[in-house]
Amino acid sequence: MKALIKIISIVVLSSLNLTFAFYADITIDGLFGDWETVNGYADDENDTFGGPKDDTMDIISYKIANDEKFLYVMVVVKDDISKGKTNRGAYQVIIDSDNRYDTGIQSDTESPYPPHKEPMGVDRYISVETKMGQLLGIGMAGFTKDADKIGGPGEFKIQDAICEVQIDKNRYELSADLKSLGIDIESKIRIALLHYSAQGTVDWTMPAITYLVTMQKAKVDMNGKLVSKWGRIKSY
Ligand SMILES: [Ca+2]
Ligand SMILES: [Ca+2]
C-alpha cells in the first residue's frame, strides 16, 4: 500500500495543472472494485490541523469519476469512520461548478476554508454527516453567483438533489447528480475535499483539482503523454 501511494504521489506531482477526467461505471453500494481503474490522487498522512488528532478525518487518497448523470467521489481516510468521537463529522466535496473564481463563495475570503493557493469560487458542496462515527446522511447545498457569505442569504439547500453515500470502514463513496450540481457535460470544474469535525479538526485537499466532466473514458487533455500512459495501463 505504501508503494502504491508513492506511485500515485509521483503521478500527481508530475501532472500539476492538468485536467483529469474519468468516465466510469460506478455503483454506490459499499463495494469498491468498480473504482480500481480510476485515477487516484494522494493527500499527506498525519496532516490534520486545528483540533485534536483525529485519524477519521485524515484524507489519504481520493478518486473522482462521472457518467452522464452523476459525479462520483471516493475517499480513503486513515482510520475507520465508525471510530469517530465527534458530534459532527462533515465530509465535504467542495465544487466550483463553472470553473469561475468570481461566482459563488471565494474560498480564500471565508472560513471554514483555511489559507491556500489557487482559490476557487465555490458554487456547490456535498456534505456527508456523521455523529459519533454513525452516518447521519448526505445532502447538497449551493451558493448564488453573487453570494458573499457562508450561511448568508446567498446559500441555499438543494432539497431535490439526488445524492447517495456508502461508508466501508476507512473509506466512503458518494454520488451526486450533475444537474443539481449545476455541471454541464464536457465542462471543467474544480473540486476539493474538506473534512472537519465539531472539535475543530480539519483536513483538506488544496489547491483544488481541475476535473473535466466528459463522456469519454479516461480522457486527459492538455498533455498527450499522460493520456497515452493511462490509456496503456487501462487497456492492459
Ligand atoms: Ca491527509
Ligand atoms: Ca464558481
Q: Provide the residues around ligand 2 (an ion) whose CB is within 5 A.
A: 96, 98, 100, 103-104, 121, 123
Phi, psi of 12 (to 5 degrees): -65, -45
Q: Are 64 and 20 in contact (CB under 8 A)?
A: yes
Asked if pLDDT for residue 167 goes beyond 90, the answer is: yes
Tell me, in angstroms, the distance from the centre of ligand 1 to residue 71's CA: 22
Mean pLDDT of 92-116: 91
Confidence (pLDDT) at 224: 36
CA distance 79 to 56: 5
pLDDT band at 19 (very low <50, low <70, confident <90, very high): low
Q: Considering the entire predicted model, what is its pTM?
A: 0.85
Of 37 and 143, the structure prediction assigns the larger pLDDT to: 143
Q: Let me know how long the chain is.
A: 236
Share of the chain above pLDDT 90, in %: 72
Residue 113's pLDDT is: 81
Q: Is the pLDDT of residue 234 over 50?
A: no
**Ligand 1 centre distance from Cα of residue 195 (Å):** 10
* 219 CA to centre of ligand 1 in angstroms: 27
| Cα-to-centroid distance, 77 and ligand 1 (Å) | 7
Say which ligand is closest to the CA of 120.
2
Ligand sitting nearest the alpha carbon of 61: 1
Over residues 217-235, mean pLDDT: 40
CA–CA distance, 87 with 67 (Å, rounded to integer): 34
8, pLDDT greater than 90: no
| Burial of 87 (C-beta count, 10 Å sphere; 0-12/13-18/19+) | exposed
Q: Which of 130, 142, 138, 123 is nearest to 175 (CA)?
A: 138
CA nearest to 133, candidates 93, 79, 179, 92: 79
Distance (angstroms) between ligand 1 centre and the Cα of 74 equals 14
Q: Which range, of 51-65, 75-89, 108-122, 147-161, averages the lowest pLDDT?
A: 108-122
Count CB-CB contacts under 10 A for residue 144: 15
Give the ligand whose atoms come closest to the C-alpha of residue 188. 2
In this predicted structure, the answer to whether residue 204 has a pLDDT above a threshold of 60 is yes
How many whole angstroms from 124 Cα to the centroid of ligand 2? 9
Best CA proximity match to 97, nearest among 32, 11, 188: 188
What separation in Å is there between the alpha carbon of 145 and the centre of ligand 2? 7
What pLDDT does 218 receive? 57
Q: In angstroms, what is the span from residue 190 Cα to ligand 2's centroid? A: 9
How far apart, in whole angstroms, are the C-alpha atoms of residue 38 and residue 45? Answer: 21
State the pLDDT at residue 104: 97
Residue with cell 500539476: 16
Per-residue exposure over 197-226, b if at least 16 CB sit within 10 Å of its own CB, e if not: bebebbbbbbebbbbbbbeeebbbeeeeeb
Task: Report residue 121 as a C-alpha cell.
Answer: 469560487
Tell me: pLDDT of 87 over 50.
yes
Res. 14 pLDDT band, cuts 50 70 90 = very low
Domains along the sequence of the chain with CATH: 18-221 (2.60.40.1190)
What is the rounded average pLDDT of the residues 7-14?
47
Residue 4: the pLDDT is: 57
Cis peptide before 207 (omega within 30 of 0): yes
In the reported structure, the alpha carbon of residue 17 is separated from the centroid of ligand 2 by a whole-number distance in angstroms of: 18
